[in-house]
Structures are given as structure tokens and as C-alpha cells.
Structure 1
Amino acid sequence: MGIFDFLKPRAPNSASVAKERLRIIVAQERAQRDAPDYLPTLRRELLEVLKKYVNVDPDAIQVKVSQEGGHELLELSVALPDKAGG
């Protein structure tokens, strides 16, 4: 142990890493629990429509529902592939 070892940043201990991972898992579970029942069907149907026009990866579509200012918002995010040769 050197004299300047106390200046080096310490790696997080396993308890703090586990605690942070648990927070993320709990947040994801809450978001899924509060999601409307129609969301998986909506996502699947949107994917079917998009595939008619664009070759899109199924994992490239994200559908989220949130509350903002007393209104329910539907957020749709689609990562489109790059144009070939463009």
C-alpha cells in the first residue's frame, strides 16, 4: 500500500452495485405493471404495418405510455435502418 493510494478512486463494493441493479429492476417492473393491456398488441400491429414499407428490426420499436399534466401520452420510437447506398 503506497502513500498516495487513498487518492485513487475506489471500485464500488458489491452491495452498492447490487442495490443499484435492484433499483433498475424494480423501476422496470413498475413501468410494466402500470402499462395498459393493449400495449403488446399495439406494438405488434405497428411492426406489421412498418414492415410493409421498411425492413425494420422488431427490437427497434419502443412504445411507452406516460402521464403528463393530467394527460396520458403515447410515445412511439422507431429506429429506422440506414439507407443502402445512400
Structure 2
Amino acid sequence: MSLLDYFRSNKKPATAVTAKERLQIIVAHQRSERGAPDYFPQMKQEIIEVIRKYVAIEEDQVSVQLDQNDDNLSVLELNVTLPEKG
């Protein structure tokens, strides 16, 4: 399910699909933290706290990944699953 599909569809995704997507996020998150700097967990928590000021989210709805390439370039990727408008 892409982000655009999330906003276009009024259907709720099946429980199995949701569980699979969350598991993929958790696995990706754990893989990304292996080579992360010491400050990374605290930075992630602070980012979550800022988002919570505006939107009610759970920690498992946020994926933060730090990628580093051979050119000494770091890319911080943040994915947030937003709740449906009610």
C-alpha cells in the first residue's frame, strides 16, 4: 500500500497486511540501527515527541533510518504512518 493509496482509500487494510507492514518497518528499523551513531536513539525519540505535539501516533508508526554511502554522505529517512482522519 503506497502513501497515496492510504489517502485515496476509505477501506481499512486487512489485519494481516497491516501486521506485515509493521513487521517490515521493525525489521528495517533494527537493521538501520546496527551502524548508527550513539546519538541516534535519542534523536529518534525527540523526533517522535515533536510529531506527537501535532498528531497522535505510536512509536511503531515511525521509522527513522540513517543511510551512509561511500562519499561520506549521510541521509536521514523518516517515515510516519499517519492515522486516518476521523
State the partner residue of 1:57: 58
Within 1, Cα distance between the matches of 2:38 and 2:85? Answer: 35
Give the counterpart letter for 1:67 in structure 2. Answer: Q
Matched residue count? 57
Alignment of 1:1-80 (within 5 A): 28=31, 31-68=32-69, 70=71, 71-80=73-82
Cα RMSD of the aligned pairs, angstroms, is: 2.1
Once the two structures are aligned, what percentage of the paired residues are identical?
39
Dislocated runs of 4+, deviation >3 Å? none
TM-score normalised per structure 2:
0.57
TM-score normalised per structure 1:
0.57
Within 2, Cα distance between the matches of 1:39 and 1:62? Answer: 12
CA contact (8 A) 1:39 1:63 kept: no
Flag the structure with more relative contact order, 1 or 2, with Cα contacts below 8 A and sequence separation at least 6: 2
Within 1, Cα distance between the matches of 2:68 and 2:48? Answer: 24
Give structure 1 stretches of 5+ with no counterpart.
1-23
What's the CA shift for 1:33? 2.7
Within 1, Cα distance between the matches of 2:69 and 2:81? Answer: 24
SS of alignment partner, residue 41 of structure 1:
helix
